[in-house]
Structure 1
Amino acid sequence: MERKVCVVAARIINASGANVVQGFGLQKILCTLAYATANESPQSHDIGSMITKEVENTLFPYIAPNGSPRPFIPLLAPSPLVPFLTNTAPKLSGKCGLNFSAVSGLMRTTAVDCFTSFAPLLANVICCPQLHATVTILLGQSSMQTGMLALDSTHAKYCLSDVQQILESQGANYELRRICSIHSSNLTEGLCPVSDVNGVESAIDSSKLLASCSKVDQVNECCSKVCQNAILDAAGKVAMRDGGLPIMESTNMAAKASKVDDCRRVVLRWLSSRLDVTSATQLLRGVSNCNVNGACPLLFPDTANVAKECGTKIKNHTTCCNAMDNYVAHLQKQSFITNLQAMDCGAKLALQLQSENVSTDIYRLCGINLKDFSLQVGSQGTGCLLPSLPSDATLDPTTGISFTCDLNDNIAAPWPSSLRSPTTSCNRSISYPELPAATSAQIGGNEQYAKLHLLTAALLFLLYI
């Protein structure tokens, strides 16, 4: 099966501050960003034209007779990963006692997942879930020496700052805490009354929890919730260990929920201390991925214009579809999303439009597919959907940063039959004949998935805009 291929050009940030990704189709997967020199004004360039010319004049001669692309490095770019492979010494506080050496490999993976300018584009799916997992495992592994599963507020600030410094020294985005909304309070016990290993183990059924979560079925866990329910049950038991009224008798539902959620974090740290780093990572990423795929991360602008052109009885199909295309174009400037997130985004937008008297299935009318909700690559503006299972970006000294990307998924966006139609992928009554397979990209058996390579030299361009 022939795979669609692209060369991705990072266009100049527009007046609204949104990142836009454009591309140009080829016959093999090779995606690279544009590069501009520091002494030139990015606003003076037509990046699309520049890259098109660069591709025509430079890239095609590098396609080998057997069709395998050779690494493409823009002529203006320095040696690709030299500034990033040589780690700078992080400026640590000296006041954090966490065992960073126990998770050194995990920190490197996180730095790549959250690499500089790509972090905001991969935040919801790859970067932030990995960062939160890393912090959880760091606390869990350190508890094996300290016996504590939480830090006080003072040390939490120092330790989170040190995490940021270490990751930044390895190439991660310097605004990672803001991008991922992680705060020093995430390293404390919060409202949970128990913060030590002995306290947790005296409150929970350790063997039952480990049996449920030591090996998470990443394909079915989001629907079966075997591990998630075990964690929630353990968190509830830990939350009641404060000598006061049972948590279920609390009249403040919000406080009760916050208390259980804080204890859930403590339980996850305990689990991380009982597993090796790799297994703990798979556990945390698998469980968090249920939340990732469970909600659309996109921000939806005002739909008034679409409702005006497509509402009630459509008078002009062309005008309606133009309004819809313009609207979707705003969504395509936000971030990479998974195929299941795209399904939810499509349903969410459809329900919004239905509430505004748009009764016609304008997805079918205007040819809107799931991939139309993601960042676009390819000469025809093909959307890059990430796989629904947890995945990481990878770093290669030659090709740079890459991640698994579905470029060929032409599944029609879902148009609910009513305002109350369920959209969850766990609802077996919903028929999606070509529902994105969660495992195909992971086992490498589906040629519709390919690696999207982003030359790190191009990051220098992004840093100037």
Structure 2
Amino acid sequence: MGGRLFLVLFLCLQKILCTLAYATANESPQSHDIGLMITKEVENTLFPYIAPNGSPRPFIPQLAPSPLVPFLTNTAPKLSGKCGLNFSAVSGLMRTTAVDCFTSFAPLLANVICCPQLHATVTILLGQSSMQTGMLALDSTHAKYCLSDVQQILESQGANYELRRICSIHSSNLTEGLCPVSDVNGVESAIDSSKLLASCSKVDQVNECCSKVCQNAILDAAGKVAMRDGGLPIMESTNMAAKASKVDDCRRVVLRWLSSRLDVTSATQLLRRVSNCNVNGACPLLFPETANVAKECGTKIKNHTTCCNAMDNYVAHLQKQSFITNLQAMDCGAKLALQLQSENVSTDIYRLCGINLKDFSLQVGSQGTGCLLPSLPSDATLDQTTGISFTCDLNDNIAAPWPSYLRSPTTSCNRSISYPELPAATSAQIGGNEQYAKLHLLTAALLFLLYI
């Protein structure tokens, strides 16, 4: 049964008591309601309850209490007074980013939602400010002040106070780095502006990761900027690492230029859709040592129960890390399978032990059900009554793929490969039915389930 679960994150009592609410949006007559409650915050990180594996059973929801305080208490940020960037031009974008990176949930949404949005915000901020300054980069001193101000503004609106660490963003990300050009005129004299805008003004969120129309145009422009003033003699360079770093830094500058030529909304879509290819392109999970699973499940399995217990214990470690997308889950499943196959595990233990795609994501609720985020770019949303929410795509028991022995898994760009059915919400978004998703998100806010 395919389904879509909209996860409603309910924070109250000044960020100490939290209640996460769930409701299903399913066209099928049947639905599953899964409850979750967080009782305390420990070191600004959410530690979910990990339940034994098994299919969730529906139960009767309970209504959660109303919040005693607003979800976001805006406080005056302590700004340096030494950053000249135009923050007012991206005020709405900053609010969206604060919600996407909200307090304890930022580490859990970091890879898919929070960090891509934060990096896009900084890029657009520099791009929009260049319309007044003519500069697409800051010097190292002002970069430190401006990044600190970005953190202060976001934190004052409810964002996590450790965003720079969580998203690995540094003041050097606001400079030109190794790129020889940092001003608007210099970039425009080096690139074909009309060609770049034609390729990237409207990025196909479904096909861009395979066609790479915009990505290739950006890379081509970055290469031209890198060669400006003899900055990168590509054909003669012997230091490939230095060449790659210089082109990458120029790529940042080109993205800022693009952001200055688009409105904030269009620039956000461009950056999120392009970065989304990297998000879905690799499994973000850290895999512990697999020796125990290989020992119990390797060669000819002697005891299925012992093998599956070892596998369940291993997967439980993965389930404590973060929310991932459905495409990431497929990549994580294939990556782990190849590792096990290299250690003489030839049996499809995913099928044997009932390992599903959602088992690779963070588990939520007393019944331990995984939440797969959509593979297309998405944001968390804030409602002062219902709290923070985001789309959670669920399909019931879609088996994790076990690739052919020691053969690298194929990518989603290979149209000849038949993949398991992905969550219905993703299909709806591919069809452009975003209002349909938002309608159910508001409906989901009417039900609250407590978990212990």
Q: Please tell me the TM-score bracket, short chain as reference.
A: 0.7 to 0.9
- Listed as ranges, the matches of 1:204-219 within 5 Å are 204-219=191-206
CA contact (8 A) 2:110 2:167 kept: yes
CA distance in 2, matches of 1:368, 1:52: 29
Maintained 8 Å contact 1:407/1:448: no
Q: Distance in 2 between matches of 1:77 and 1:25?
A: 11
Q: After TM superposition, give the deviation of residue 19 of structure 1 in Å.
A: 20
Q: Which moved more, 1:123-132 or 1:419-428?
A: 419-428
2:319 touches 2:360 (CA, 8 Å); kept in 1?
yes
Q: 1:57: how far off?
A: 29
Shift of 1:413: 0.9
**SS of alignment partner, residue 16 of structure 1:** strand
Query: Mean alpha-carbon deviation: is it higher for 398-407 or for 29-38?
Result: 29-38
CA, structure 1 residues 225+51, in 2 after alignment: closer, same or farther (shift >3 Å)? closer
Distance 1:18 1:38 in 2: 6
- How far residue 80 of structure 1 moved from its aligned partner, in angstroms, is 2.6
Shift of 1:59: 23
TM-superposed deviation, 1:318: 1.0
1:445 equivalent among 411, 421, 432: 432
Report the secondary structure of 2:112's partner residue.
helix
Change beyond 3 A, Cα 1:210–1:368: same
Deviation at 1:47, TM superposition (A): 16
Rounded Cα–Cα distance in structure 2 between residues aligned with 1:239 and 1:45: 54
Q: 1:104 to 1:58 in 2, by over 3 A?
A: closer
Q: What SS is found at the alignment partner of 1:42?
A: coil
Q: Take 2:395 and 2:331, find their aligned partners in 1: how far apart are those partners?
A: 19
Q: 1:20 to 1:290 in 2, by over 3 A?
A: closer
* 2:47 aligned partner: 60
User: What is the TM-score of this pair, normalised by structure 2?
Assistant: 0.82
Report SS of the residue matched to 2:17: coil
How far residue 119 of structure 1 moved from its aligned partner, in angstroms, is 0.2
Work out the CA distance in 2 between the residues paired with 1:152 and 1:60.
Answer: 39
CA distance in 2, matches of 1:404, 1:97: 36
Distance 1:261 1:47, change over 3 A: same
Q: CA deviation at 1:441?
A: 4.7
Deviations 1:145-188 (A, max 9, x none): 00000000000000000000000000000000000000000000
For residues 31 and 454 of structure 1, do their structure 2 counterparts lie closer, same or farther at Cα, with a shift above 3 Å needed?
farther
TM-score (norm 1): 0.80
Matching residue within 270, 280, 296 for 1:309:
296
Native 8 Å contact 2:49 2:366 kept in 1: no
Contact persistence 2:135–2:184 (CA under 8 A): yes
The structure 2 residue matched to 1:426, chosen from 413, 424, 440, is 413
1:25–1:413 Cα change, 3 Å: farther
Alignment match of 1:194 (pick from 181, 196, 200):
181
Question: Given that residues 296 and 344 in structure 1 are in contact (C-alpha distance below 8 angstroms), is that contact kept between their aligned partners in structure 2?
Answer: yes
Matches of 2:450 and 2:164, distance apart in 1: 19
Note if contact 1:73-1:455 (Cα within 8 Å) is conserved in structure 2: no
Pairwise CA distance, 1:438: 7.3
Q: Cα deviations across residues 106-137 of structure 1 (Å, max 9, x unaligned)?
A: 00000000000000000000000000000000
* Structure 1 contact 344–423 (Cα < 8 Å) conserved: no
Q: Secondary structure at the match of 2:42?
A: helix
What SS does the corresponding residue of 2:440 show, helix, strand or coil? Answer: strand
Q: Distance in 1 between matches of 2:410 and 2:260?
A: 36
TM-superposed deviation, 1:425: 1.1
Cα 1:75–1:145, aligned 2, differ >3 Å: closer, same or farther? same
Displacement, 1:205? 0.5
Instruction: Indicate whether 1:259 and 2:246 are aligned.
Output: yes
Unaligned runs of 5+ in 2: none
TM-superposed deviation, 1:431? 1.6
Q: Do 2:13 and 2:68's aligned partners in 1 also have CA atoms closer than 8 Å?
A: no
Of the structure 1 ranges 447-456 and 137-146, higher mean CA displacement relative to structure 2 is found in 447-456
The 8 Å contact of residues 24 and 33 in structure 2, kept in 1 or not, is answered as: no
Whole-angstrom distance in 1 between the partners of 2:420 and 2:280: 19
Q: 1:237-265: CA deviations, max 9, x gaps?
A: 00001325512321011100000000000
Contact 2:61 2:449 in 1 (8 A): no
**Contact between 2:143 and 2:175, CA under 8 Å: does it hold in 1?**
yes
TM-superposition CA deviations, 1:8-59 (whole Å, max 9, x none): xxxxxxx999999999999999993499999999999999999899999999
- How many equivalent pairs are there? 451
Displacement after TM superposition at 1:399 (Å) = 0.8
**Separation in 1 of the partners of 2:142 and 2:185?**
21
Of 90-99 and 450-459, more deviation after overlay is shown by: 450-459
Identity over aligned pairs, percent = 96
Which has the larger displacement, 75-84 or 422-431? 75-84
Contact preservation (8 Å) 2:6, 2:392? no
Q: Cα distance, 1:437 vs. partner?
A: 6.0
CA contact (8 A) 2:10 2:388 kept: no
Alignment partner, residue 310 of structure 2:
323
The worse-fitting range, judged by mean Cα deviation, of 370-379 and 324-333 is 370-379
- Partner-residue secondary structure (3-state), 1:453: helix
Cα distance between partner residues in 2 of 1:246 and 1:87: 50
* Contact kept? 2:44, 2:104, Cα under 8 Å: no
- CA distance in structure 2 between the partners assigned to 1:316 and 1:437 by the alignment: 37
CA distance in 2, matches of 1:76, 1:333: 27
Residue 103 of structure 1 deviates from its aligned partner by 0.1
Deviation per residue, 1:63-111 (Å, 9 max, x gap): 9999999999999999637354331000000000000000000000000
Deviations 1:408-462 (A, max 9, x none): 2532111110323333111223221414467435379999997899999999999
SS in structure 2 opposite 1:351?
Answer: helix
Which 10-residue stretch deviates more, 372-381 or 222-231? Answer: 372-381
1:324–1:175 distance in 2 versus 1, CA, 3 Å: same
Q: Quick one: distance in 2 between partners of 1:90 and 1:62?
A: 35
Q: Root-mean-square deviation (CA), in Å? A: 9.5
- Tell whether the 8 Å contact from 2:61 to 2:448 is kept in structure 1 after alignment: no
1: CA distance, partners of 2:60 / 2:334: 40
For residues 227 and 312 of structure 1, what CA distance do their matches in structure 2 show? 47
- Per the alignment, do residues 447 and 109 of structure 1 end up closer, same or farther by CA in structure 2, a change over 3 Å counting? closer
1:416 corresponds to 2:403: yes
SS in 2 for 1:80: coil
Change (3 A) 1:334 1:293: same
3-state SS of 2:197 partner = helix
Give 1:233 shift. 0.4
CA change 1:388–1:409 in 2 (3 A) is farther
Q: Which has the higher contact order (CA 8 A, sep 6+)?
A: 2
2: CA distance, partners of 1:405 / 1:86:
26
SS of alignment partner, residue 404 of structure 1: strand
Query: Deviation digits for residues 309-342 of structure 1, max 9, x if unmatched?
Result: 0000001111111111111111000000000000
Cα distance in 2 for residues equivalent to 1:35 and 1:407: 12
Q: Does the C-alpha gap of structure 1 residues 446 and 56 become closer, same or farther in structure 2, counting only changes over 3 Å? A: farther
